[in-house]
Structure 1
């Protein structure tokens, strides 16, 4: 280290030389800076050299999420979004979009907590009762899309790796008073309005009724008690034009009600004769698919006009009469095996729509089950009724074919989501009896691109019109066909279960 002082000859410390001290200080500083700079420069050169030596393929690539539907499902055709049906709904004459005031419009009822993310059968069974509730309360029913995903920023949703529409306008599936159509002559009730119009007319002045305000005073899950409770509450708010059902605890009718075997008898006599059912109609899109495929499942006579040519004002009983000679089987496959095992573990009964009092087939859970578990024998019995194998299906069909209601049956149509190979095996097994002129299935239908995504409704219409129908007592899709058959006057013993 450089000295900061120097001694004279006598050994005493001399006074520091200021210039020399400054020189030494600067020399030390520059020496340190120089060494440090050299090291930094060397490291920088080494870093640059090493980066040039790394192959491009080995460099980390940032993960980027797909930002468009085309990137999310590359090479797949995107499903339709049905804009023409939305346009139709928006142009309904009861929608006064440009009115300076909405004070003269009818009272309205909106249920924002309605079910979503389920098959059409689950959604439709709830829509029917929600619309019936609004009708009973003399309020305009606010109808809504068939919704898989309510996120408005996502037009498409993923279903088993394939895109499906996140929302389908309700008018692409059904017609009639539920979706803003005219009521039949003699019915004085306000016309239904769309969800979009409700938000336009009511968002700034709505009254929200917490679900607990009604259900805390309803002692059962039965439909008649729930309906009465809500109707009384809505009547107490007749001075309020825009009433919304609070989402706390779910919509008025939940899965508990639909799964309760005794939920419907109290309301059924009134429900079945209400215009909600007597003037229910499937959409023009669904009826066109029915007409296009008519020769596949039930050949028509020369003099029979197509369904799509029938006047819309016709009551449902006249619009959708039985198709003579047609037996329809509703058989769920796929993930229903696990669902049926779950039903067995909890000793579940048939759904509410499938336990109407006139129906001949009942299912009482066998004894021996416990909380969340069941005996192997009981599980096997559930599977026979809920997920029958081909041999069990053939035996049940033969049993039903011997009944009085089955006289004249010639054709079989299988409503199913089963794999093509399994369906073909079933068709061959049914045909082996020599009883049937023709056996067809959902897999044989020819559907255009728009009809493909409402195919469940097409199947429901075919099942609804069968001379004899055998369905799954735990299926809501079966349940809607059953309700329509019974409301339209079909003989009860023509509707059976596995």
Structure 2
């Protein structure tokens, strides 16, 4: 695949549009890994209005990158947020709730995600939320391995042969490098992360849009149920024609 050429992105407000930045792909090792973020734009190169939007109002996505599994992993100050979520008795955010059995029964017309905030018998709400909110590297590797096997089964959607990983994360370099090595040791052909992108000062302002493009373009995605960023990715994937079963949560 040729290196993508980004159009000028226009920031659309209720009254006017103005140029935001000129993006240039600058992936250090694999410029073909991340597709252009045009899949997040209206025709003509305009940013999508901010959610919520009805799913049918969004354009179809470009075809998925074969073999690509994308992960959204929050680190850093998110550990404090997990403590707040436990105290607030919080639920998943917006689109991430589409796997909840209550929502499925009340709205059978909505797409169904395979995962939801489950609290097994004998497990406290605190322990259940913590397991979904903050994972160790070993737990991440195990979860990724399980999703890979499930995606290859072809039980709920055409079988996928996932072999590459892209990780959108705010983790520290040492922690991310350790996770990357564990995933490679578990049999993944290649592992790339947000930290592998080289962005100019102007491009940093929209780095989350670049990450979101990669997550939306993957065959299967695993995200953080308590994250609005993950929820927006799920929305784009559902609206763009990705099978609901390819949207997974930790």
Q: What is the distance in 2 between the residues matched to 1:308 and 1:493?
A: 23
Unmatched tracts of structure 2, length 5 or more: 1-7, 46-57, 99-109
Q: What is the distance in 2 between the residues matched to 1:322 and 1:481?
A: 14
What is aligned with 2:103? none
**Matching of residue 410 in structure 1 with residue 163 in structure 2:** yes
Kindly state the Cα deviation for residue 465 of structure 1 after the two structures are TM-superposed. Answer: 1.1
Kindly state the Cα deviation for residue 294 of structure 1 after the two structures are TM-superposed. Answer: 8.9
What is aligned with 2:107? none
Give the structure-1-normalised TM-score: 0.38
Secondary structure at the aligned position of 2:167 is classed as strand
Kindly state the Cα deviation for residue 381 of structure 1 after the two structures are TM-superposed. Answer: 2.4
Contact 2:72 2:223 (C-alpha < 8 Å) held by counterparts: yes
Secondary structure at the aligned position of 1:317 is classed as coil
Kindly state the Cα deviation for residue 347 of structure 1 after the two structures are TM-superposed. Answer: 2.2
What is aligned with 1:470? 222
Unmatched tracts of structure 1, length 5 or more: 1-87, 89-169, 173-178, 181-191, 197-282, 301-305, 369-374
**Matching of residue 317 in structure 1 with residue 37 in structure 2:** no
Contact 2:37 2:209 (C-alpha < 8 Å) held by counterparts: no
Q: What is the distance in 2 between the residues matched to 1:308 and 1:395?
A: 30
Q: What is the distance in 2 between the residues matched to 1:489 and 1:308?
A: 16
User: How do 1:428-443 residues align onto structure 2 when only pairs under 5 Å count?
Assistant: 428-434=181-187, 436-443=188-195
Contact 1:297 1:412 (C-alpha < 8 Å) held by counterparts: no
CA gap 1:401/1:297 in 2 versus in 1, 3 angstroms: farther
Secondary structure at the aligned position of 1:330 is classed as strand
Contact 2:82 2:133 (C-alpha < 8 Å) held by counterparts: yes
RMSD of the alignment, in Å? Answer: 3.2
What is aligned with 1:347? 89
1:459 to 208, 211, 214: 211
CA gap 1:464/1:285 in 2 versus in 1, 3 angstroms: farther
2:138 to 367, 375, 391: 391
Q: What is the distance in 2 between the residues matched to 1:380 and 1:308?
A: 37
Contact 2:118 2:128 (C-alpha < 8 Å) held by counterparts: no
Kindly state the Cα deviation for residue 457 of structure 1 after the two structures are TM-superposed. Answer: 1.4
Higher strand share: 2
CA gap 1:454/1:367 in 2 versus in 1, 3 angstroms: same
Kindly state the Cα deviation for residue 312 of structure 1 after the two structures are TM-superposed. Answer: 3.5
What is aligned with 1:194? 16
1:381-411 C-alpha deviation (Å, 9 max, x unpaired)? 2222111110110110011001235622121
User: How do 1:94-105 residues align onto structure 2 when only pairs under 5 Å count?
Assistant: none
Structure 1 stretch displaced more, 409-418 or 307-316: 307-316
Give the structure-2-normalised TM-score: 0.73
Secondary structure at the aligned position of 2:226 is classed as coil
Kindly state the Cα deviation for residue 296 of structure 1 after the two structures are TM-superposed. Answer: 2.9
**Matching of residue 327 in structure 1 with residue 55 in structure 2:** no
1:306-356 C-alpha deviation (Å, 9 max, x unpaired)? 7489994598315x3311111111000011111112212232111112123
CA gap 1:353/1:284 in 2 versus in 1, 3 angstroms: farther
CA gap 1:308/1:443 in 2 versus in 1, 3 angstroms: closer
Contact 1:296 1:444 (C-alpha < 8 Å) held by counterparts: no
Computing the radius of gyration from Cα coordinates, the structure with the larger value is: 1
What is aligned with 2:178? 425
Contact 2:21 2:203 (C-alpha < 8 Å) held by counterparts: no
CA gap 1:480/1:360 in 2 versus in 1, 3 angstroms: same
**Matching of residue 362 in structure 1 with residue 201 in structure 2:** no
User: How do 1:299-318 residues align onto structure 2 when only pairs under 5 Å count?
Assistant: 299=33, 307=36, 312-313=43-44, 316-318=59-61
Q: What is the distance in 2 between the residues matched to 1:365 and 1:323?
A: 34
What is aligned with 2:247? 495
Contact 1:298 1:411 (C-alpha < 8 Å) held by counterparts: no
What is aligned with 2:126? 379
CA gap 1:389/1:297 in 2 versus in 1, 3 angstroms: farther
Kindly state the Cα deviation for residue 452 of structure 1 after the two structures are TM-superposed. Answer: 1.3
Secondary structure at the aligned position of 2:174 is classed as helix
